[in-house]
Amino acid sequence: MTKYVLNINGAAQTVDVVPDTPLLWVLRDTLELVGTKFGCGAGHCGACTVHLNGVPTRSCMTPVSTVGRKQVTTIEGLDARGTHPLQRAWQELDVPQCGYCQAGQIMTAAALLQENPNPTDEEIEGALAGNLCRCATYLRIRAGVRRAAELAKEERSA
Amino acid sequence: MTTTRHPASPGRRDFLRKSVFGGGALVLGYFAGGAGHAVAQIAKPATLADGAGFKPSAFIHIGSDGIVTLVSKQPEIGQGIKTSLPMVIAEELEVSWKDVAIVQGDLDPAYGSQSAGGSRSTPTNYTEFQRLGATARTMLIAAAASNWGVPVAECHAADSAVHHRPTGRKLGYGALAATAATLPVPDAKDVVLKDPKDYKLLGKRIGGVDNPAVVTGKPLFGIDVKLPGMLYAVYEKSPAFGGKVVSANLDAIKALPGVRDAFVIEGGSDLRGLLPGVAIVAESTWAAYSARRQLKVSWDEGQVATESWSGYAARAAELAKLPGAAVLRKDGDPVGALAAAAKTVEAAYSYPFISHASIEPQNATAWFHDDIVELWAPTQNPATGQNLVSSTLGIPKEKITLHITRSGGGFGRRLSADYIVEAAAIAQRVKAPVKLTWSREDDLRHDHFRAGGFHFLRGGVDAKGKLVAWHNHFVTFANSVVRDGKASLQTGSGGSLGGDEFPGRWVENCLLEQTPIECGVPMGPWRAPGSNVFAWVFHSFIDELAHAAGRDPLDFRLELLGERDVVPGTGERGVPYNVSRMKGVLREVARRADWGRKKLARGQGQGIAFHFSHLGYVAQVADVSVSKDGVLKVDRVVVAVDIGARIVNPSGADNQVQGSVIDALGALMYQELDIERGRIVQSNFHDYPMIRIGDAPPRIDVHYLETDYPVTGLGEPAFPPLAPAVCNAIFAATGHRVRQLPLSRTDLRWS
């Protein structure tokens, strides 16, 4: 076991875990941040997506020993009040079915909007190609990202 | 979405079922939680635990604070039932949706059946929930009238309050709860349901009640359960189905860091029960998964290790030359009619075994304490979990508590309870709560699979282009099942063709035969069992016959459906088929999709199909483009749906229909498992691809016909027609007929 001081959602968290433990399981089992989901354990489905310094990253493939001082943002820390434009758009359009993949979808989309505030449908599809939705709410995910872009624009101009 | 209201006639109250009202002392015991433990992260509501307030039924609680808590009895698996069924109560109760809190009920006999399968949750509960809400409303009105000392007739309920018309006074439900709780439950005849024209909630687009928790990452799912002192388990089963443990390096595993225990579970031979395996129990999920990589097990794989998909396919081709083992239907003279037909078509269709691949891997948490076992599980059928744990481990059912968590997808997988009994069998050996979490590889390789199948078809049309003969020999799969010491073959779920399956009952010369191949592959229900492949086979072949006859595929189908209004089912369990309703959705979809009115370039095509399943009538038209190098793009899908008098929640309904369409497109395009040496070859999403966002059609237009029939479910019936609609469109576009799934098996290039 090794002690690591992680920067999770803006706060320092000390964990004592085996170095090869994927960040996913540190979040879920150790820190009880279970919004980040286990889907495949191999980087194929995107359910475990978090941000490392703002970059969408598969936490199931990220050993805790490699995280270092990078800022880890999970769905729980995406927005202090849970009112990120994506979180609002997702509720407004009733995007989720089972909801299991949606944290990963939202985290991936949040990074897209950060980089590209007004993405085309093709850019949305390109960014979210790695996020599997087994219920196939893809039409609403696409619409949800578009709606969030609008909401973010309104926020900026307000 | 559009909704077309068809003229309704009164008098459909005959399908109202008896209410389950039980008075006051209902289900609160479970919420009180015995010792108040074990609720760590997926909490139960405080409002129900106090036992105060107005509880006119097991499903309704109105607190003195005015909060109306409704219990969702059915498991939520993404079908939206936790939102839509409480809406039915809330409508009749005249409560504002903002005042409603909804909680997931545990498994409890007070709730009646809690199985979420077969798209039955809505039809089996709808009318009863209407009555529950209306009864509670009637009692609240009586309470207000009594408080005010005025006639009931002068009072009405609206917006979570009772209003006194002559004086303009009002009392909120919270203020009335205590009085209402003292009143007798009124006679059913004194409870009047609302006139649908006064509905404020039903028919409105309402977002999922758990959406706020979903988008902020709150604990909801089985895999999110965390209990004090909980340990984490993995369970390694034989890669070849049902194999037994000969030996395992348990001592080496137990010495690994973080491992608390490792042991063999003997298990049994029931392929959907507790199978043999090795359990590793550790202090974290990762410790268990890491230890598993060092696990070495010697298996007795048994006879199944000789089985393979290529072997099954060769056997099916042999069986096709023989008469079927069973004749499911024989009408007229199929052989003579085929010989006399103006044109005949012969074709073989096949599809592989596939996995449910629900995105939340199977998991369950079990805890033996205080002489009971407490379970938490993402399940579609909690009673099956309780029964299987009871029968396998010899524990009386009343000592097994089951908490239903939200499920990260169901698709039929969680009607099985193998993962629940595994968690219980492991926890029985450990003095702590244990969460078992399957890996994706476990999930894909130890599913209860959608059975593959082979259909050998012959059909004939007469000189006028009318379908006159149909012969199908279906080669399916069955497991050997031992009951009372006798072995018999049991076909997989959805792996048996009913004699009534369309176009049986319609074609005057019809022969349906079936032969099972015995196999050791576990099989189970997969979204729209049977229908999910039969619709593809039969509506593709009907299309072949329409083209052979030189007929328009829509006209050919309308003629085939004929002029009868309702075609009765065969035998006691037969389901009547309402031809008028099917023709209604077929004409609607054709109109909405501009069927036959579009100028299409080579490489573009339209295809049409319909299917009746799970009490729903659905027709679809797909518009596709196929590039010269054979790449399919589905440009648009138009869906017409008739599931009765009301779309409870159009937002949820659209989600189910659009999700079904894309799910069905994914199954058509990609899903395939290979079997070698009695085991699944694929392991994860890299070699078992699922549909991604880029393949979703840009448009899926959904049209509902609201007809004067009971309200039924929508989790499944929109799935089956998609594959034949798309494949028929591919034929129209390219001349290539898809007779094997998935689509990658067919070369779609054209020049």
- Sorted by sequence, the CB contacts under 8 Å of residue B108 that are 6+ apart come out as B27, B30, B58, B114
Average pLDDT estimate for B383-397: 98
Angstrom distance (rounded) from CA B434 to CA B364 = 8
> Quick check: B216 and A36 CB within 8 A?
no
Q: Over chain B, what is the mean pLDDT?
A: 92
Supply the pLDDT for residue B68.
Answer: 96
- Sorted by sequence, the CB contacts under 8 Å of residue B619 that are 6+ apart come out as B582, B585, B586, B588, B589, B590, B608, B609, B610, B639, B640, B721
Average pLDDT estimate for B259-280: 97
Average pLDDT estimate for B592-619: 96
User: Which of A41, A82, A97 lies at the smallest CB-CB distance from B78?
Assistant: A97
**From 3.40.50.300, 3.30.70.380, 3.10.20.30, 3.40.50.11540, which CATH number describes the A2-77 domain?**
3.10.20.30
Res. B571 pLDDT band, cuts 50 70 90: confident
**What are B434's strand-pairing partners?**
B231, B366
With beta carbons less than 8 A apart as the criterion, state whether B114 and B100 touch.
no
Return the DSSP state at B514: E
Supply the pLDDT for residue B388.
Answer: 98
- Dihedral of CA atoms A35, A40, A44, A45 in degrees, nearest 10, equals -40
Angstrom distance (rounded) from CA B146 to CA B140 = 10
> Quick check: B286 and A102 CB within 8 A?
no
With beta carbons less than 8 A apart as the criterion, state whether A136 and B666 touch.
yes
With beta carbons less than 8 A apart as the criterion, state whether B173 and B101 touch.
no
Element (H, E) at A25: helix A23-25
Angstrom distance (rounded) from CA B79 to CA A96 = 10
Residue intervals of chain A classified under CATH 1.10.150.120 are 85-157
With beta carbons less than 8 A apart as the criterion, state whether B725 and B600 touch.
no
Average pLDDT estimate for B532-541: 98
Angstrom distance (rounded) from CA B213 to CA B76 = 14
With beta carbons less than 8 A apart as the criterion, state whether B722 and B743 touch.
no
- Sorted by sequence, the CB contacts under 8 Å of residue B597 that are 6+ apart come out as none
Q: How far is B50 from chain A (nearest CA, A)?
A: 28
For residue B136, what are its two tokens? 């509670």
| Residue B569 buriedness (CB in 10 A; 0-12 / 13-18 / 19+) | middle
Q: Over chain A, what is the mean pLDDT?
A: 97
Average pLDDT estimate for B220-244: 98
Q: Residue A35's closest CA among A139, A85, A107, A94?
A: A107
Supply the pLDDT for residue B574.
Answer: 81
Asked which of A31-45, B31-45, B560-574 is least confident by mean pLDDT, the reply is B31-45
- Sorted by sequence, the CB contacts under 8 Å of residue B741 that are 6+ apart come out as B350, B351, B352, B533, B536, B667, B668, B671, B672, B723
Query: How long a stretch of residues is chain A?
Result: 158
The CA-based angle B590-B596-B598, given to 5 degrees, is: 110
H-helix segments, B65-120: 81-93
- Sorted by sequence, the CB contacts under 8 Å of residue A91 that are 6+ apart come out as B207, B211, B212, B215
CA distances from B582 to B30, B520, B564, B570, B617 (A): 45, 38, 11, 19, 6
pLDDT in tens, B638-690: 999 999 999 999 999 999 999 999 999 999 999 999 999 999 999 999 999 99
Angstrom distance (rounded) from CA B729 to CA B166 = 64
Supply the pLDDT for residue B41.
Answer: 35
> Quick check: A87 and B217 CB within 8 A?
no
Q: With a CB-CB cutoff of 8 Å, which residues 426-485 of chain B face chain A?
A: 437, 439-440
Supply the pLDDT for residue B575.
Answer: 87
The residue type of B257 is P
Q: Is B159 helix (H, G, I), strand (E, B) or coil?
A: coil
Locate the DSSP E strands across B202-243: 231-237
Angstrom distance (rounded) from CA A25 to CA B290 = 12
Suggest the residue from A94, A141, A142 to mutate for an interface test with chain B (most B CBs closer than 10 A). A94
Supply the pLDDT for residue B483.
Answer: 86
**From 3.40.50.300, 3.30.930.10, 3.30.365.10, 2.60.120.10, which CATH number describes the B320-354+449-745 domain?**
3.30.365.10
Predicted confidence (pLDDT) at residue A121 exceeds the cutoff of 80: yes
The residue type of A25 is W
Q: For residue A99, list chain B residues with Cβ-Cβ distance below 8 A.
A: 78, 208, 210-211, 214, 220, 406, 408
Q: How far is B31 from chain A (nearest CA, A)?
A: 23
The CA-based angle B246-B252-B255, given to 5 degrees, is: 140
List the CATH code of the domain at A85-157: 1.10.150.120
Residue intervals of chain A classified under CATH 3.10.20.30 are 2-77
> Quick check: A94 and B694 CB within 8 A?
no
Angstrom distance (rounded) from CA B260 to CA B262 = 7
Q: How far is B362 from chain A (nearest CA, A)?
A: 10
Q: Is B664 helix (H, G, I), strand (E, B) or coil?
A: helix
For residue B196, what are its two tokens? 């649908």
Angstrom distance (rounded) from CA B334 to CA B471 = 7
> Quick check: B211 and A131 CB within 8 A?
no
Predicted confidence (pLDDT) at residue B173 exceeds the cutoff of 70: yes
With beta carbons less than 8 A apart as the criterion, state whether A57 and A51 touch.
yes
Average pLDDT estimate for B181-210: 96
Residue intervals of chain B classified under CATH 3.30.365.10 are 21-216, 229-303+362-437, 320-354+449-745
User: Which of A41, A134, A139 lies at the smallest CB-CB distance from B358?
Assistant: A134
Suggest the residue from A24, A25, A30, A98 to mutate for an interface test with chain B (most B CBs closer than 10 A). A98
With beta carbons less than 8 A apart as the criterion, state whether B488 and B562 touch.
no
Q: Which fold has domain B21-216?
A: Aldehyde Oxidoreductase; domain 4 (3.30.365)
User: Which of A32, A102, A134 lies at the smallest CB-CB distance from B214?
Assistant: A102
**From 3.60.20.10, 1.10.220.110, 3.30.365.10, 1.20.140.10, which CATH number describes the B229-303+362-437 domain?**
3.30.365.10
Angstrom distance (rounded) from CA B751 to CA B749 = 7
What percent of chain B has a predicted confidence (pLDDT) above 90? 90
Average pLDDT estimate for B191-207: 97
Predicted confidence (pLDDT) at residue B43 exceeds the cutoff of 80: no
For residue B650, what are its two tokens? 């159009």
Supply the pLDDT for residue B224.
Answer: 98
Count residue pairs from A and B with Cβ separation < 8 A: 193
Instruction: Residue B634: count other Cβ atoms within 10 Å of its Cβ.
Output: 25
The residue type of B169 is R
Predicted confidence (pLDDT) at residue A128 exceeds the cutoff of 70: yes
For residue B411, what are its two tokens? 């698709």
Supply the pLDDT for residue B51.
Answer: 58
Rounded to a whole number of angstroms, the CA Rg of chain B reads 28
> Quick check: B78 and A135 CB within 8 A?
yes
For residue B444, what are its two tokens? 């894909």
With beta carbons less than 8 A apart as the criterion, state whether B122 and B84 touch.
yes
Q: Is A52 helix (H, G, I), strand (E, B) or coil?
A: strand
The residue type of B223 is I
For residue B138, what are its two tokens? 């009637």
CA atoms within 13 A on the CB side of B427: 29
